[in-house]
Amino acid sequence: MENKSNPKKQKQKGENMVKKIFGEIMQWVIRGVFIVLAIAILIKAGNWAFAEAYDLLGKTPSGNHEVRNVSLVIPKGATTETIAGILEENGLIGSTLFFRMKAKFDGNDGKFQYGDYTLSTAMSEEDIMKILMTEGAKRETKTFTIVEGLTLAKTAESLEKQGICTRKEFFDALDNTNWGYRFLESVPDSSVRNIRYQGYLFPSTYEIYADATAVDVISTMFDQMDKIWTEEYYERAEALGLTVDQVITIASIIEKEVVEPSEQVIVSGIIHNRLEIDMKLQMCSSVLYVLDKHRSRLLYSDLETPSPYNTYIHPGLPIGPIANPGAGAINAALYPDDNDYLYFVLKDDGSSTHEFNSDYNDHVNDKSKYTNTFNY
């Protein structure tokens, strides 16, 4: 008897085959979706983990960040690894490894330009990368000048007049930044004196980038003071038994007392001589600083003005500098003339020079000859 196929069975068999194929396809689709989701999760987790690790290991917490400007050169052909090493050596980043990883993650690897740069330790790694990628060519600059003998208040006023930064921006940056310069280590905190950085903004003419912030401006001036304070100066101050702050205080008095540069070392000798014998300095510049006003001639009542800066009523140095001294005054403070003078009086002949004496009676006689004097 001939076997014949059952149509119903044939149909059911076909449907089962379709279901099996469809089921296998769906399994592969589901697997694919899971794989894509897993990869996405891993990427997101990796980015988060990298960001967390970078924040932990690649940066210094902002509260402990000492701010200073750093000038450096990125050589032509430098790799990201080389650049990261230069940045780490100069204290601009916390880790070369994480800087390189971040450069790759952010798509910046290989885009950094060679050239001369001035970077700040206050900058984030993102800011540094942006500058290294875009500012290899010369940027627009502007200049400003701060003359010798200005107080911080007058310095802020001058910067504002020159369109560099406002007075508020200046003092906000000065007082609220953790400056990391060696010459500032002996500056007492604000509990001792409220004008901490008087005397340390080196007077000169500067060129800065047109978009420089107040922090950049102050850092540039501090940089110049850092260059002035060579290792020789630190050793000389130590040999004299003085802190940097005391040297700057002496220099600031010299700057305000002396017009003729050749007399700076002579007046420095007088200051050192008086300090050595515990004689009050009696410098009129310290009284004028307290009065904060111009006087062509001081009154005896002015000399009694109460202030820790008034060297007529307090022995020794005032509690801090009274102005920003220039290089000549700083050098004179460190290397005073070897003389035995204790007194000086300003001549009234228009020469802006002084008569110097070792004897008090001779000094009194000279005072009687000159009426337009700040010196008593």
- As a whole number of angstroms, the distance between CA 112 and CA 226 comes to 29
Q: Which helix (H) or strand (E) holds 168?
A: helix 167-175
What would the pLDDT profile of 132-169 be if each residue is shown by its tens digit? 988 875 667 899 999 999 999 999 999 999 999 999 99
Q: Is 300 left (phi over 0), alpha (psi -120 to 50) or beta?
A: alpha
The pLDDT value given to residue 47: 54
- As a whole number of angstroms, the distance between CA 315 and CA 237 comes to 21
The pLDDT value given to residue 373: 46
3 state DSSP class of 86: helix
- As a whole number of angstroms, the distance between CA 267 and CA 153 comes to 26
The pLDDT value given to residue 32: 59
Q: What pTM does this model have?
A: 0.70
Residue ranges for the chain with pLDDT beneath 70: 1-65, 137-139, 296, 371-376
Residue 144's nearest CA partner among 118, 130, 171, 163 is 163
Which residue has tokens 């993650």? Answer: 105
As given in the structure block, the two tokens for residue 260 are 């003729």
DSSP 120-167: ETTS-HHHHHHHHHH-SSPPPEEEEE--TT--HHHHHHHHHHTTS--H
284 within 8 A of 322, measured Cβ to Cβ: no
User: What does each C-alpha distance from 332 to 157, 208, 260 come to in angstroms?
Assistant: 28, 29, 13
171 within 8 A of 215, measured Cβ to Cβ: no
User: What does each C-alpha distance from 28 to 15, 17, 19, 20, 166 come to in angstroms?
Assistant: 20, 17, 14, 12, 67
Query: Which residues on adjacent β-strands are paired with residue 355?
Result: 345
User: What does each C-alpha distance from 116 to 73, 86, 103, 156, 219 come to in angstroms?
Assistant: 5, 12, 20, 29, 17
